[in-house]
Amino acid sequence: MIKLAPSILSADLAHLALALEQCEEGGADLVHFDVMDGHFVPNLTFGIPVLAALRKRTQLPLDVHLMVEAPDRLLGSYLDAGADRVAVHWEVTPHLDSTLRRIREGGARAGVAVNPATPVEYLQDVLAHLDFVVMMSVNPGFSGQSFLPHVLDKTRRLREMIGAQGAEVEIEMDGGLGRGTIRSAVEAGVETCVAGSAVFATPDPVLAMTSLRRLASGEIE
């Protein structure tokens, strides 16, 4: 069963509660929450107080994607604010093993996000400590960018690694997923599809969620 995780970064940021309602109505499985610090990525978005405010407005699991340097510093606060899943970036997490352990001890599912240029082979020895991998299919920083197709091959390699180890690791993909790309992502092994502009930069986000899910599952083309 494919999971859909709309990224509220692409929603009208003056109406985030409305975006949550649309996620619920559209049958989203998760709400993707993009934290950017202006250092690891050039852009700056939202953080802990906004997450805590949204937590009060929805029962949907909050999928927190930390695009920040030194994510350990504020990890406890994100967990306390109500994150259900937290992904840190491989590129800025030197003590990945202990960071993942802290996320799990905080009661959340632990993920690692990898940039398009980062080989998935770097995850070989950490798969057993992971709940999910976020395959970045754009260079992180902004929504609305074009999908980078070479990430499909990386995804197939990751799927093989997971299978060979018998690990229980979910593959999420983030960036440029929409009508023309979502099915190929799923065919490569993606289980959780993040979609920002393909949902919220449309006239009817609820309808967009429904049709993306049907496209992802191969029900329509």
Residue 201's closest CA among 142, 135, 150?
142
Residues carrying an active site annotation: 34, 174
What values do phi and psi take at 80, rounded to 5? -65, -30
Q: How far is the CB of 67 from ligand DX5 (least distance, A)?
A: 6
Distance CA 46, CA 44 (A): 7
DSSP state of 164: H
What values do phi and psi take at 112, rounded to 5? -125, 130
**Pure H helices in 90-204:** 96-105, 150-165, 182-188, 197-200
Could you tell me which residues are beta bridge partners of residue 94? none
Q: Which is nearer to ligand DX5, 196 or 205 (CB)?
A: 196
Residues in contact with ligand DX5, counted by CB under 6 A, come to a total of 22
Site for Zn ion in 27-46 (CB under 5 A): 34
Q: Given the rule CB under 6 A, which of 16-24, 74-82, 85-93, 189-197 is the region that contacts ligand DX5?
A: 189-197
Q: Does position 2 bind ligand DX5 by CB under 6 A?
A: no
Q: How far is the CB of 24 from ligand DX5 (least distance, A)?
A: 19
Distance CA 200, CA 150 (A): 26
Q: Which is nearer to ligand DX5, 167 or 184 (CB)?
A: 184
Distance CA 58, CA 60 (A): 5
Q: Does position 82 bind ligand DX5 by CB under 6 A?
A: no
**Among residues 133, 198, 212, 215, which is the contact residue for ligand DX5, using CB under 6 A?**
198
Residue 191's closest CA among 77, 21, 29, 56?
29
Q: Does position 143 bind ligand DX5 by CB under 6 A?
A: yes
Task: Work out the number of other CB atoms within 10 angstroms of the CB of residue 54.
Answer: 21
- Binding track over 99-138 against ligand DX5, x by CB under 6 A: ---------------------------------------x
Contacting positions for Zn ion (CB under 5 A): 34, 65, 174
Interacting residue ranges for ligand DX5, rule: CB under 6 A: 7, 9-10, 32, 34, 65, 138, 140-145, 174-177, 194-198
